[in-house]
Structure 1
Amino acid sequence: MPSPHHGRHEFGQNFIRDRRVINTIVDLVAQTTGPIIEIGAGDGALTLPLQRLRRPLTAIEVDARRAVRLDTRTAATTNVVTADFLTYRLPATPHVVVGNLPFHQTTAMLRRLLHSPGWTDAVLLVQWEVARRRAGVGGATMMTAQWWPWFEFALAQRVPAAAFTPRPGVDGGLITVRRRADPLVDHHDRHRYQRLVHRVFTGRGRGIAQIVGGVAPRDVTRRWLRDNRIRVDALPRDLSAPQWASLLDLSDGPRDRGDRGHRQRR
């Protein structure tokens, strides 16, 4: 008799089978409010437990055969949709996103999610190293720094490879992402801020003082380092979210900083 997962791995999905991990995910979602959208519902290992929260639930599954089977097992209040998340349009109204993301599509899915409006919280199971990098453990990546003013990333736990079937070659990591109610940088400045982060991460220098040397005069840079308690030899990955936000003020130059004093940064 063929495996219930036969043929599905062509989509790169490793199904979560550890009941403890599933319960942890449901508990994290239970701490949020609003309708739930699940990415990659598969055979419903997470979908069915999520129904216990008694909230509107949309389960997205790219495999049409599995979506049809899952639809026969879910409650009438659960909407099973056959779709690819990378092309699925999320609603503009508040909702929560949860999912066990295919490891090979994690970055693409995260980028689409971060560019999407409406959702307030996300609980995501991704590759362990990706989870650590996105949560800024051991230093922030450029992607995390570029989105920090609008989102908070946190590492919930490591998930062993044995918790999946088929078993992947690496462990997974559970992360949470929360949209900040009070952004550190105004949304209208997003593109300018993200270009600045890219410039700093790819800039030359032995430390942040040298790297940002072209952003502002030396005395202004020294004052920024002192006021934000940043070492001159710190690297871009060492900066915190508020420190990155303050760097945008520094790049404005003296003529603009007064005009931008009302930027949302708390």
Structure 2
Amino acid sequence: MTRPDPTDFPTSTLPLYSPTRVRDLLARHGLKPTKSLGQNFLIDGNILRAIAEAGGAAPGVPVLEIGPGLGVLTREIASRGAQVTALEKDERLRPVLSETLAGLDVRVIWGDALDFDYASLPEGTRVIANLPYYITGVLLSRFMHAPGVVSATVLVQKEVGQRLASRPGEDNYGFLSALAALHGTVRHIRDVPKGAFLPAPDVTSSVVRLDFDRTRPLPDPAFLKFVETALHHRRKTLRNNLRLSGLDGEAVGEALQEAGLRSDVRAEDVPLADLQRVAAVLGVIR
């Protein structure tokens, strides 16, 4: 049996994630994806459904989306009954989102995601988003520090996803891994090929879910700075990294010994609990 050609049907009857409909929307509104804003639109329905499912989109759940673009993922989330707030910077998309999100429980806030007050989000908020790759790290940090946000299910570059999920001693472990572990847990959901986007990005992507443990107090800023210093050159020894930051070499050596660590241990191999002991001995934290 021959499959029907999508072009045989009116564009409006095609699903929003159809490449034909995405191209039609862009053409009718005189738009082109802006690389500087990280605009790569999802065109794979299976992946859209997987993201919404993994993110916990469900009736009555408050969801925050960053960069709704044409509203493709937004529609999938809202169709599950979630109460969606979407942050969009590109004002050119106003008429598109008015069309694609008509009749849905979606509030679009126009402005830069870096200027938004994440502390204002209601308790139980779940972030579900295809994040602009160029500000991924900054946004993840904002989510971690927002008391109302309980999880973030996000599309990121594959290598960023690997770093987020890595543990001490693994190849991709670094400050981002430590930061995620200090705030909760990370789970890899699935990889996403370049062809799932229009236009196709230069890199493979991954969907990861971060769950934030709000029963813990937020990490001490002094300890976060210490961890960042310790892992700045993660393949160097912890002793050298701390000495380069201005700490006394003899004191560092004594702290490592007291924490039961070798003097030549590499920074990337040190568990967070041991880093905390070193920081306490050095008087960085109480």
TM-score higher than 0.5 here?
A: yes
Aligned to 1:71: 98
Aligned to 2:160: 130
CA 1:254/1:47 → structure 2, altered by over 3 Å: closer, same or farther?
A: closer
- The answer on whether the counterparts of 1:135 and 1:153 sit within 8 Å (CA) in structure 2 is yes
CA 1:255/1:46 → structure 2, altered by over 3 Å: closer, same or farther?
A: closer
1:99 equivalent to 2:120? Answer no
CA 1:233/1:25 → structure 2, altered by over 3 Å: closer, same or farther?
A: farther
Candidates 267, 270, 274, aligned match of 1:236: 267
- TM-score in terms of structure 1 length: 0.78
1:24 equivalent to 2:53? Answer no
Aligned to 2:279: 251
The 2-side partners of 1:158 and 1:63 are apart by 27
CA 1:80/1:143 → structure 2, altered by over 3 Å: closer, same or farther?
A: same
Aligned to 1:263: none
1:151 equivalent to 2:184? Answer yes
Deviation at 1:126, TM superposition (A): 1.1
Secondary structure of the equivalent of 1:249? helix
CA 1:250/1:233 → structure 2, altered by over 3 Å: closer, same or farther?
A: closer
Which residues in structure 2 correspond to 1:1-266 (within 5 Å)?
4-5=25-26, 6-10=31-35, 11-30=37-56, 34-74=61-101, 75-90=103-118, 91-94=120-123, 95-136=125-166, 138-183=171-216, 186-187=217-218, 190-202=220-232, 207-208=237-238, 214=249, 221-222=256-257, 224-225=259-260, 234-239=265-270, 243-253=271-281
Cα-Cα RMSD: 3.3
Deviation at 1:138, TM superposition (A): 3.0
Give 5+ residue unaligned stretches, structure 1.
261-266
Structure 1, 201-210 or 243-252: larger mean CA deviation: 201-210
Give 5+ residue unaligned stretches, structure 2.
1-19, 244-248
Count residues in correspondence. Answer: 248
Structure 1, 101-110 or 165-174: larger mean CA deviation: 101-110
Per-residue CA distance 1:11-38 (angstroms, 9 max, x = gap): 2211111111111101112278830011
- The answer on whether the counterparts of 1:142 and 1:198 sit within 8 Å (CA) in structure 2 is yes
CA 1:15/1:216 → structure 2, altered by over 3 Å: closer, same or farther?
A: same
The 1-side partners of 2:215 and 2:250 are apart by 26
Counterpart of 2:269, as a letter, is D
Per-residue CA distance 1:98-154 (angstroms, 9 max, x = gap): 111122332333333334332110011011111111222633221331442123223
